[in-house]
């Protein structure tokens, strides 16, 4: 039997209401903050990600689904959206239409990572990007907006972690200091970190390997080597968060896995989902747009993992949605009426009601069982003696009350079912 590819998952009808609920909540929250939806293709030219995310990142160096298409172009299934949004922003000159572009997305992403709980090869993100302002208030707004979404889902075990990576100039200086610190301790580092020492030294800081953690413990931290401008920006972000009643932790080792960040980086982690605890992450990227060929334009954004969020909801027992129901189940009391049942069902469906009926010639008892399983608010009995008198019987499944109405009294039947 052919199965879904490792690391991918079907979302079955039984789970779909949670996804829809999450998507709707996300859309409502984003629109409150003035964000407009953007949809970009599922694949892009590979160079976009190589240049945007950084050649030395894990994503680009080992996780991308890249292939050569039939026109000999190297294309990649999108592993994240920020580079795609920036590409679209530049291609359509969105910056000329508006000083500040506030964009949001909900989309599948693809990364060939080792699958485990909360980590997939096709997963879904919602996220937002605000392009066109350096205002630290936007960094804070991004953190608050993303946190609000999680809180509004009912999640409680949340911690906001923030850090500043400063501007590239101070980061380059700091990298030298870090290189010096690690240079006589290389033999104590993991193989991965030995490699990163050469290619992407900041990533040594957020390694989860015990050996690295020990060495990193006493390493100099970037936050203590920030220039004045970066410190001031970070101070303002913190002030706004505090004034808005948002608690956070400063995590000097939060460098994140994508190369485009400047100034603020942040994550919201959950205490209820195990090892893959980052529900969302983001930060400021003031140089990315220029790196991708545009005029220097600042940006800030975040993305959240929807599978992880739904897992946290399950573990924290929030998101208790009422079971799906239908307006009415039409029961045929005898076979002769089936044509009439189809007609009536169609009529009511076209008027906006959700109607189910039997397609297998089952007994009345079996049809009733089905109606109960579907949480029908009403059962409409069609057939028998009543049908000969042009009447149908309706049963309110909540209180058991029954009413007999003329089959032609469509409005009356509608109102009864709708509860008017």
Is 202 near ligand HAM (CB under 6 A)?
no
Q: What is the dihedral of CA 171, 173, 178, 184, to 10 degrees?
A: 160
Q: Is 80 in the site for ligand HAM (CB under 6 A)?
A: yes
> Rule CB under 6 A: is residue 125 a binding residue for ligand HAM?
yes
User: Distance between CA atoms of 157 and 316, rounded to whole angstroms?
Assistant: 8
Residue 257 interacts with ligand HAM (CB under 6 A)?
A: yes
Q: How far is the CB of 225 from ligand HAM (least distance, A)?
A: 23
> Which residue among 61, 90, 108, 113 contacts ligand HAM (CB under 6 A)?
113
Binding residue for ligand HAM, selected from 57, 76, 82, 200, defined by CB under 6 A: 82
Under the binding rule (CB under 6 A), the answer on residue 35 touching ligand HAM is no
Answer yes or no whether residue 111 interacts with ligand HAM by CB under 6 A. yes
Select from 137, 171, 148, 125 the least CA-distant residue to 278: 125
Measuring CA to CA, how many Å separate 139 from each of 143, 167, 228?
Answer: 6, 15, 18
Strand, helix or coil at 197? helix
Is 58 a residue that touches ligand HAM (CB under 6 A)? no
Task: Report helix, strand or coil for 271.
Answer: coil
How many C-beta neighbours within 10 Å does residue 314 have? 13
**Longest Cα pair distance anywhere in the chain, in angstroms?**
96
Distance (Å, whole) CA 144 – CA 302: 11
By C-beta, is 281 or 383 nearer to ligand HAM? 281
Determine, following the binding rule CB under 6 A, whether residue 303 of this chain makes contact with ligand HAM: yes
| Using rule CB under 6 A, residue 204 touches ligand HAM | no
**Tokens of residue 402, six digits:** 């029954």
Q: Does 282 bind ligand HAM (CB under 6 A)?
A: yes
Three-state SS for 65?
A: coil
| Residue selected from 35, 104, 105, 123 as contacting ligand HAM according to rule CB under 6 A | 123
Closest distance of CB 268 from ligand HAM, Å: 8
**Is 298 an interacting residue with respect to ligand HAM (CB under 6 A)?**
no
Q: Residues 304-323 vs ligand HAM: string with x where CB under 6 A?
A: xx-xx---------------
Q: Select from 125-133, 182-190, 192-200, 392-400 the region that touches ligand HAM (CB under 6 A).
A: 125-133
The footprint of ligand HAM on residues 344-403 (CB under 6 A) is: none
Nearer to ligand HAM, 160 or 345 (CB): 160
- Of 123 and 329, CB closest to ligand HAM: 123
- The region of 144-152, 247-255, 279-287, 316-324 touching ligand HAM under the rule CB under 6 A is 279-287
161 lies in the site for ligand HAM, by CB under 6 A:
no
What number of CA atoms fall less than 13 Å from residue 277's CA on the CB side? 13
Closest to ligand HAM by CB, 283 vs 383, is 283
**Residue 294 contacts ligand HAM per CB under 6 A:** no
**HSE value, Cβ hemisphere, 13 Å, CA-based, for 161:** 17
Nearer to ligand HAM, 301 or 383 (CB): 301
* DSSP annotation of 79: S
What are phi and psi for residue 159, nearest 5 degrees?
Answer: -130, 130
Q: Are 27 and 127 in contact (CB under 8 A)?
A: no
Strand residues in 46-202 grouped as ranges (E): 66-68, 74-77, 101-110, 122-131, 158-164
What is the nearest approach in angstroms of ligand HAM to the Cβ of residue 281?
4
| Residue 302 bridge partners (DSSP) | 128, 282
Taking CA atoms, 217 is separated from 221, 243, 247, 253, in Å, by 10, 31, 24, 10
Query: Which one of residues 52, 132, 166, 281 is an interface residue with ligand HAM (CB under 6 A)?
Result: 281
Cα–Cα distance list, 47 to 18, 40, 64, 220, 258 (Å): 36, 16, 12, 34, 15
Residue 404, helix vs strand vs coil: strand
Q: Enter the tokens of residue 415.
A: 């109102």
Q: Closest CB to ligand HAM among 127 and 383?
A: 127
Among 302, 329, 330, 378, binds ligand HAM (CB under 6 A): 302
Contact positions vs ligand HAM (CB under 6 A): 80-82, 111, 113, 119-120, 123, 125, 127, 129, 257-258, 278-283, 285, 301-305, 307-308
């Amino acid at each position: 039997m052919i199965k879904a590819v490792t690391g991918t998952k079907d979302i079955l009808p039984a789970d779909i209401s949670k996804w829809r609920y999450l998507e709707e909540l996300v859309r409502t929250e984003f629109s409150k903050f003035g964000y407009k939806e953007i949809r970009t293709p599922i694949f892009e030219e590979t160079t976009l990600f190589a240049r945007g995310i950084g050649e030395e990142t894990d994503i680009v160096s080992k996780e991308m689904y890249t292939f050569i298409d039939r026109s000999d172009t190297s294309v990649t299934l999108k592993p994240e959206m920020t580079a795609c949004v920036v590409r679209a922003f530049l291609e359509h000159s969105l910056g000329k239409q508006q000083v500040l572009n506030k964009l949001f997305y909900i989309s599948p992403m693809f990364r060939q990572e080792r699958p485990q709980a909360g980590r997939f090869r096709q997963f879904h993100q919602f996220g937002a990007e605000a392009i066109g302002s350096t205002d630290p208030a936007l960094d804070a707004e991004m953190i608050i907006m993303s946190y609000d979404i999680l809180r509004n889902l009912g999640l409680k075990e949340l911690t906001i972690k923030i850090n500043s990576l400063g501007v590239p100039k101070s980061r380059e200086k700091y990298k030298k200091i870090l290189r010096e610190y690690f240079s006589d301790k290389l033999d104590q580092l993991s193989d991965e970190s030995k490699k990163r020492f050469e290619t992407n030294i900041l990533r040594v800081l957020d390694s989860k390997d015990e050996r690295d953690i020990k060495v990193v413990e006493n390493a100099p931290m970037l936050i203590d080597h920030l220039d004045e401008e970066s410190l001031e920006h970070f101070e303002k972000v913190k002030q706004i968060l505090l004034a808005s009643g948002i608690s956070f932790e400063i995590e000097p080792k939060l460098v994140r896995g994508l190369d485009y960040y400047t100034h603020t980086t942040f994550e919201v982690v959950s205490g209820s989902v195990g090892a893959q605890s980052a529900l969302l992450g983001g930060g400021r990227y003031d140089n990315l747009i220029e790196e991708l060929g545009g005029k220097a334009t600042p940006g800030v954004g975040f993305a959240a993992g929807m599978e992880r969020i739904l897992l946290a909801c399950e573990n924290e027992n929030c998101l208790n949605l009422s079971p799906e129901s239908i307006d009415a189940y039409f029961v045929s009391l005898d076979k002769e009426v089936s044509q009439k049942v189809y007609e009536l069902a169609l009529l009511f469906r076209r008027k906006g009601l959700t109607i189910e009926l039997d397609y297998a010639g089952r007994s009345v008892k079996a049809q009733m069982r089905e109606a109960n399983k579907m949480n029908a608010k009403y059962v409409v009995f069609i057939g028998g003696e009543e049908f000969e008198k042009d009447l149908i019987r309706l049963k309110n499944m909540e209180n058991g009350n029954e009413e007999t109405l003329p089959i032609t009294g469509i409005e009356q039947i509608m109102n009864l079912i709708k509860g008017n």
